[in-house]
Chains A and B, each alone.
Chain A
């Protein structure tokens, strides 16, 4: 396995590969954003933070002290607990913030998600400062160890866990597309987003559909947090928002905010833009500027995104 498709070490290979794996995190965040945009017609600014919540919980569950109690859960249990808690925070957001503001203008709902984001970061900070730092190894450190494979990727500075991220993204994106195309629940979500009153008339519970979408979005955000953060030595509160929110939003808009495959493609493109700018420009903040310009250009020239049809 030492030979990969990008056999030679061309200057293009490295940013290309790194861009795709980085883009898969953006793609995962974008998937959740698109899901919520489909159902509520809003952008959820707390989307990436569900991931931080999940990762932090998994950290403390795996090998950390919380409130003086040491926890030593197995890796898989810790990660599951993390994802459950991250998803639960999305469910709570829906019940406590989105539901009471349902009839309000969309901007108010967005400000509500900003409030959730602020509250989440503050709580994380309080909890983290009350306990000791911990470390959560990535999935490859615990199970999948193949020195030959690692060596093959090392040439491109791409680790196994980044490949796992990409696989997770592909699987979840395909699952999401299938969910909306073939399942009754997926169709119900689309129906409520397009015409809530008519959907309610034919017997769809808008309340349950809203809860379902937020649960799914919370799950996607949590998975994104786990795959992006497991194995990273530092974990500070708000890290997913700081590193992946803008990229995820840009990816969602680039893909046309209502399209699941679009979110996937958008994530990849943003990741590539990020990595190519990083390797060819050296002035500070070049990556942020590049992503910002992409977002601006897409909104001005291509407001429907690349794949902007409702599917």
Chain B
């Protein structure tokens, strides 16, 4: 009887409930808009947004199809390379250059997807690892693409010259990609990808075209990464291949994996939050050191006491925190940030606030589940 009763009285939003949620959305919008007023901080925020985009890109491969990719810095870099060189050499408007970048990364991702049809699981992660290091060390370093090794300098159009303006562009792109990603997961394609991740053979038996959906997933992932690469290169108004070459590139590739796992595999909100977190972690550590008692404690820890002197050291600390968060998530909290944020996310989308959501079904219930080998 109780179950029937629960169904008989569905949760309805009251007027105050709508108002509270509306207020929350306005607050979120204001917080997201605030960096526009700054110059240096908004540049960092642009990077954080680009990381979030890369998280969404990798999430399609790792979270939706369950294949580990360790070469996504290659796609980011390729996007940056194409965008910068098209603008530099032909003087085309940046939007066309970014479209070219998306086309290029999509094609390369399709090629990698073709490989992924034959080679799956752990072996594919090896292939992506080698792909990342090979493309960044060969193609990226060619003198024609680096303006004879000096780095390709480009400028944003005058109406977007401020760092804050570019931040808003990045943010807008992120919101659009986020929405498209949402549409993807609730569509036939999203359900097909989930079925593929769970069991390829069963999915095939039910008439899902493994080949086309896998290729589609890789192509989409590549397209988002190419877009992120374009945003990246215009953020610094410079294309430098060193950003994507080992050891930087390898660290970057691992960071993207960390973002996806810490955010919760397959959970787009969690991945975006994790991406923003890792983009801003240095700022947050700096902010923490404004507190006197934190300074006093850090001063006495042998390895960390030089923290104030060097930015380099701050990045080491950040990557240590990332690694520990990754391991913590894997072992203790496999759902990641996304699972922790789920009650809030459900409340924001007009549901009852419940810490332990028992009603989830469909694709949402599988989100955050682990990748399959």
Contacts and interface: CB of A to CB of B under 8 A. Distances in A.
A104 B66 CA distance: 14
Interface in B286-336: 302-306, 310, 312-313, 316-317, 319-320, 322-324, 326-327, 330-331, 334
Nearest to B329: A115
Interface centre among A106, A126, A283 (most CB of B within 10 A): A126
A101 B371 contact: no
B258 A115 contact: yes
B95 to A, nearest CB: 31
Contacts of B319: 118, 121-122, 125
A147 interface: no
A284 B326 contact: no
Contact of B302 (A130, A242, A285): A130
Interface in B88-132: 115, 118-119, 121-123, 125-127, 129-131
Contacts of B221: none
Contacts, number: 155
Given A108-B370, A289-B138, A253 B126 contact: yes
B250 interface: yes
Interface residues of B, number: 55
B344 interface: no
Contacts of A241: 250
A270 to B, nearest CB: 11
A127 interface: yes
A300 B133 CA distance: 20
Interface string A269-311: 0000000000000011110110110011001100000000000
Contacts of B121: 106-107
Given A105-B370, A125-B316, A285 B126 contact: no
Contact of B257 (A101, A105, A111, A242): A111
B310 A105 contact: no
A242 B245 CA distance: 11
B141 interface: yes
Contacts of B373: 105-107
Contacts of B134: 285, 288-289, 291-292
B186 to A, nearest CB: 25
Contacts of A117: 254
B247 interface: yes
B127, B134, B313 — which one has the most chain A CB atoms within 10 A of its CB?
Answer: B134
B317 to A, nearest CB: 7
Contacts of A42: 122
Contacts of B126: 43, 249-250, 253, 295, 299
A185 to B, nearest CB: 26
B137 interface: yes
A130 B138 contact: no
A16 interface: no
A67 interface: yes
Contacts of A100: 331
B138 A283 contact: yes
B147 interface: no
Contacts of A118: 251, 254, 258, 319-320, 322-323, 326
B323 A288 contact: no
Contact of B137 (A110, A238, A249, A285): A285
Contacts of A123: 320
21 contacts: A67-B302, A105-B373, A107-B122, A110-B68, A114-B254, A118-B320, A118-B323, A129-B310, A129-B316, A246-B133, A249-B129, A253-B126, A283-B138, A285-B134, A288-B130, A288-B138, A289-B137, A289-B138, A291-B134, A292-B133, A295-B130
Interface of A: 42-43, 67, 96-97, 100-101, 104-108, 110-112, 114-119, 121-123, 125-127, 129-130, 238, 241-242, 246, 249-250, 253, 283-286, 288-289, 291-292, 295-296, 299-300
The list of the 7 closest CB pairs from A to B, nearest first, reads A285-B137, A285-B138, A122-B320, A119-B323, A118-B323, A106-B373, A284-B141
Given A107-B373, A108-B370, A122-B317, 5 more contacts: A121-B319, A288-B137, A288-B138, A291-B130, A299-B127
Interface of B: 66, 68, 70, 115, 118-119, 121-123, 125-127, 129-131, 133-134, 136-139, 141-142, 246-247, 250-251, 254, 257-258, 261, 302-306, 310, 312-313, 316-317, 319-320, 322-324, 326-327, 330-331, 334, 370-373
